Structure 1
Amino acid sequence: MTELLSAGLITAFMAGLLGGGHCIGMCGGIVSALSFALPPSRRHPLRIAALMLTYNLGRITSYTLAGMLIGGLGQLLIGEIKAITQLLSWLAVVMLVLMAFYVGQWWTGLTRVEALGKYLWRYLEPLGRKLMPVQNPGQALLIGLIWGWLPCGLVYSMLLLALSSGSSFNGGLLMLAFGLGTLPTLLATGAAARQLTSLLRQPVWRQISAFLLLGFAGWLAWPLIN
């Protein structure tokens, strides 16, 4: 389990990092809103940075909480039954492969998985809208806590990994690693964000990211084979 967890932590971080294009598509709108919510007279770089940091703190906190809940559920349901644990681990590998296919634009069927969370999201999304426009870090933190539950195939693939992690602590740790991997993309603002978005949408970068994700899926699968 230790070897699998180590591989899982690195894989989760890299999945967040390499899935940056997907993150921009899912959260780009709210990030732009945070960047330009303040009136011009108050649009100081430090104020914008505070909004960005607190929003992402809330978002990653929700990922971590979801990982803890799912990891604890997995521990409760499967206990020490190795066969079920391995099955869930293989499902996490398959989801990562599907994510690679999505990032590389080879097959976009993963978007159907995102529909699974739409029922919860239709209750949460209006709460987030009520907090707009964001004027202070407290509002940004609350929006981040809500937006962390946005239906996302990449998040769901990592939650499957958390489900097979063996404990609530391990599940939370995996989702924390994933959330930290998404930070570089979502912290970029202004001109840097436009340049980064342009780069991540380039076909060459998409293909490189997809093959790297496939490589990490293979690395994650290796302990399961041996």
Structure 2
Amino acid sequence: MTTALLVAALLMGFFGSPHCLGMCGGLVTAFGLSMKDVSPAKRRGLVATYHLGRLLSYSFLGLLAGLIGTTVLEPLMMGNSMPRILLGLVLVLVGITMLGAPFLTKLERFGMRFWQFLGPLRQKVFPLTTFPRALTAGLLWGFLPCGLVYGALLIAVVAHNPLGGAALMFVFGLGTVPMLVATHETVGWMRDKIGRFRLRQLNGVVMVLSGMAVMFVPIIMANMHGGHGGDTHMSHGNPAAITSEAGGSNHHDMSQMDHSMHNMDTDADTMNHSQ
């Protein structure tokens, strides 16, 4: 798990939270109405408690996703570049989803069935007047179907690290907290700023580019390094070998010169003897 993935998960949660507010907003409203007779101080504690439960639920799901990646995917992709390529593809998929593509709607439908199955248990936590009930409500909230959550879980799967997957989902949940605990006026201001500057779409573009970089930059760098390595070999060579060859060539030339001088001396002696 890298810092870059954790930052991506945090931004994904923050910039995607206006979209999730449509579904989570009703739940937050229901929680608030169930605490209308609670003192303001205890109310703040209960709100913090059920958000803690939600983050713990996300972390548990991230742990499961990381285990799936470790036990199922990793043995199939050892010794090759598939882990990097799969991570890049998931980042591209999540980025396109943040741009508005409905790729994860089928997962949301499946999650809705499970959410409805939890209906009787959800009814038992109301009203949220005690901390155990608030914690339980937060734990159940983590299973609310959301395409953005499923996208983060896909990243946790390809991260191939259970603890890293848990950390990624916890950080993703932290990114959604400001929008869900803000007052009505603050929520309107945040949604306006995120919508006006298209920060969700911008984050989606960044994730798409990041995924493409994860897939293709190592290949491009490897090709460039390979070509540069060949040129280096041709242009520079082995200094020791060059020195050895130069030394050998010089030694051969000196030997030839000595042999020629010896022949010249012999010829001179022969001429003197003849005279």
TM-score (norm 2): 0.70
Give me the whole-angstrom Cα distance separating, in 1, the residues matched to 2:113 and 2:81. 31
Question: Who is 2:141 aligned against?
Answer: 147
The 5-angstrom pairing of residues 1-226 of structure 1 reads 5-40=2-37, 42=38, 44-79=39-74, 81=77, 82-102=80-100, 107-108=101-102, 110-188=104-182, 192-197=183-188, 199-200=190-191, 204-205=195-196, 207-225=198-216, 226=218
Q: CA deviation at 1:48?
A: 1.6
Q: CA deviation at 1:207?
A: 2.3
Unaligned runs of 5+ in 2: 219-275
SS in 2 for 1:163: helix
Tell me if structure 1 keeps the 8 A contact 2:96–2:208.
no
Give me the whole-angstrom Cα distance separating, in 2, the residues matched to 1:114 and 1:222. 29
Give me the whole-angstrom Cα distance separating, in 2, the residues matched to 1:167 and 1:39. 42
Give me the whole-angstrom Cα distance separating, in 2, the residues matched to 1:39 and 1:186. 18
TM-score (norm 1): 0.84
Q: CA deviation at 1:87?
A: 4.5
- Computing the radius of gyration from Cα coordinates, the structure with the larger value is 2
Q: CA deviation at 1:12?
A: 0.3
Give me the whole-angstrom Cα distance separating, in 2, the residues matched to 1:101 and 1:221. 16
Give me the whole-angstrom Cα distance separating, in 2, the residues matched to 1:185 and 1:49. 15
Name the CA shift for 1:94/1:124 in 2 (closer, same or farther; >3 Å). farther
Give me the whole-angstrom Cα distance separating, in 2, the residues matched to 1:206 and 1:130. 41
Q: Root-mean-square deviation (CA), in Å?
A: 2.3
Tell me if structure 2 keeps the 8 A contact 1:7–1:219.
no
Query: What's the CA shift string for 1:114-159, capped at 9, x where partnerless?
Result: 1132232222233112212211221111011011011110000000
Tell me if structure 1 keeps the 8 A contact 2:99–2:201.
yes
Name the CA shift for 1:184/1:160 in 2 (closer, same or farther; >3 Å). same
Q: CA deviation at 1:64?
A: 0.5
Give me the whole-angstrom Cα distance separating, in 2, the residues matched to 1:205 and 1:113. 29
Name the CA shift for 1:133/1:162 in 2 (closer, same or farther; >3 Å). same
Give me the whole-angstrom Cα distance separating, in 2, the residues matched to 1:76 and 1:147. 27
How many residues matched? 214
Unaligned runs of 5+ in 1: none
Give me the whole-angstrom Cα distance separating, in 2, the residues matched to 1:199 and 1:126. 34
Q: CA deviation at 1:219?
A: 2.6
Equivalent AA in structure 2 for residue 210 of structure 1:
Q
Q: CA deviation at 1:213?
A: 2.7
SS in 1 for 2:24: helix
Equivalent AA in structure 2 for residue 223 of structure 1:
V
